[in-house]
Amino acid sequence: MAAAAAEQDGAKDTKPKGIYPYGSNHANGSEIMTAISPTQDPTGDDVTVVPGESPSEALTRRRLRRRQLLVFAAAFQVVNAALLLIFAAAGTIPVAIATAFTVGAVIVVGGFWALSEIPATDRWRDRTFAQTYAATTFALLLGFVAIAPQVAVVFLSALFLVAQMAGMRATPRYGFAIWIVITAGVATLYWLGGLSFSVPLGNPLERFGTLLTFSLTLGRIVFIGVFASSMQDALSRRRVELETAYKRIEELSELDELTGSYNRRCIMRMLGDETIRAHRTKSPCSIALIDLDWFKRINDTYGHPTGDEVLRTFSIAVFANIRAIDKFGRYGGEEFLLVLPDTPHDMAVVLLDRLRAIIATLDWSAFSEGLIVTISAGVATMEPDESPDALLARADAALYAAKAGGRNLIASA
């Protein structure tokens, strides 16, 4: 019936359906665009998209990380090749072995780099290549342990690094499998293959090579730990960003962006909750439908920015003059719903009349010269077993009576 009154006095705007931009006095806050959500990857895998990131950007970010890991792998292999050249210079192994290992490492790293550029590999379960690269490198290293057991210290140290890198993305089950496979492979060579293990210490250059092997192995282990820690920190920061964004979305899903009051969906839910509580406890509960008089005329005469300021200032004034237990929300357009728990009818009328007087005496000319703002309201108090819809209908009828009576009035249902 308030709508009928609006047609009579032309006070309400015509609100077309759709999503209104935030900051418009048409918006009721019920349309929330999700800023962050788990987005389905085109490859069939779930990719968490961070703020402002599209699924394609998420895929690009993942590929860059994969390339970064391959660069680290290549750098580690360069170190291994350099150590072998030192032992070749010391006469421990032929130069051909160092060359063969270098060629093998280039083939492995280059092959995985080529795979990383193929879009189809984004559908692999092991999208970072951690497992497949670990298995391939394990085979390469174990093969050269058999070929050059006199410098097995280089390859065995590299196996520690492979296991550590693979373990960064491993499940407990897969990590246990890595341990078993590497142990079994080494044991097969030394126990069943009859290979002997020795540390090259025959001459100063061999001792230097062996010391450098241990030193660089420790350095790379520390580097992997630092890298893993930085990744963990980045993930923690991203999780905080996501939690903050989700919290903001939850707030927006309950609040009207323009006025800061509850939106229609939220205030209606609260009315339902208060209805149930009032019926259960037999306590009084009153509501008021409040409408800003001639609001369409304010928008047309003074402009929508002024109308926005009127709505915001009105909401602030209401918040400043209600109790903490009261619920205030934007019902639609320039119409608001005030839920007053534990409030008998006469007290609710007194409260609304006080609000009416406060709004009427505010200095609205600060927004625009000659601006005057008043409100009308319909007050209704819940009856036994009355539904929220029935209560709202009575408050709406009272609001219609207040507007028909000349506005700037409070009417009782």
How far is it, in rounded angstroms, from Cα 50 to Cα 52? 6
Q: Tell whether 87 and 167 lie within a shared domain.
A: yes
How far is it, in rounded angstroms, from Cα 12 to Cα 21? 19
Q: Tell whether 150 and 13 lie within a shared domain.
A: no
| 250 within some domain | no
**Contact present, 257 and 29 (Cβ < 8 Å):** yes
Q: Tell whether 94 and 203 lie within a shared domain.
A: yes
Q: Tell whether 24 and 50 lie within a shared domain.
A: no
Q: Tell whether 314 and 215 lie within a shared domain.
A: no
| 40 within some domain | no
Q: Tell whether 354 and 235 lie within a shared domain.
A: no
Q: Tell whether 282 and 373 lie within a shared domain.
A: yes
Residue 345 CB-density burial (10 A; 0-12 exposed, 13-18 middle, 19+ buried): middle
Q: What is the pLDDT at residue 18?
A: 31
- pTM greater than the 0.85 cutoff: no
| 201 within some domain | yes
**Contact present, 84 and 93 (Cβ < 8 Å):** yes
How far is it, in rounded angstroms, from Cα 202 to Cα 207? 7
Where is the domain boundary, 245, 273, 296? 245
Give 237's pLDDT tier (boundaries 50, 70, 90). Answer: confident
Where is the domain boundary, 245, 275, 307? 245
Q: Tell whether 283 and 400 lie within a shared domain.
A: yes
How far is it, in rounded angstroms, from Cα 41 to Cα 48? 9
Predicted confidence (pLDDT) at residue 36 exceeds the cutoff of 70: no
- Provide the sign of the torsion angle of the four alpha carbons 62, 64, 65, 67, taken in this order: positive
Q: What is the pLDDT at residue 220?
A: 85
Q: How many domains are there within the chain?
A: 2
DSSP 67-95: HHHHHHHHHHHHHHHHHHHHHHHTTSS-H
Residue 202 — φ and ψ, nearest 5°? Answer: -70, -30
Which CA distances in Å does 133 have to 64, 108, 140? Answer: 17, 8, 10
| 279 within some domain | yes
- Provide the sign of the torsion angle of the four alpha carbons 126, 129, 132, 135, taken in this order: negative
Where is the domain boundary, 245, 279, 308? 245
Predicted confidence (pLDDT) at residue 17 exceeds the cutoff of 50: no
How far is it, in rounded angstroms, from Cα 74 to Cα 375? 74
Q: Tell whether 398 and 282 lie within a shared domain.
A: yes
Q: What is the pLDDT at residue 159?
A: 86
Q: What is the pLDDT at residue 169?
A: 66
| 239 within some domain | yes
CA-wise closest residue to 330 among 13, 14, 15, 30: 30
Predicted confidence (pLDDT) at residue 15 exceeds the cutoff of 60: no
Q: Tell whether 265 and 405 lie within a shared domain.
A: yes
Q: Which residues contact 352 (CB under 8 A, 6 or more apart)?
A: 288, 290, 338, 377, 379, 410
| 55 within some domain | yes
Q: Tell whether 115 and 189 lie within a shared domain.
A: yes
Predicted confidence (pLDDT) at residue 167 exceeds the cutoff of 90: no
Mean pLDDT of the chain: 82
Residue holding tokens 């002997």? 196
More confident residue, 114 or 309: 309
Q: Stretch 165-194: mean pLDDT, rounded?
A: 77
Give 55's pLDDT tier (boundaries 50, 70, 90). Answer: low
| 33 within some domain | no
Q: Tell whether 193 and 279 lie within a shared domain.
A: no
Q: Domain residues for 327? A: 2-28+259-412
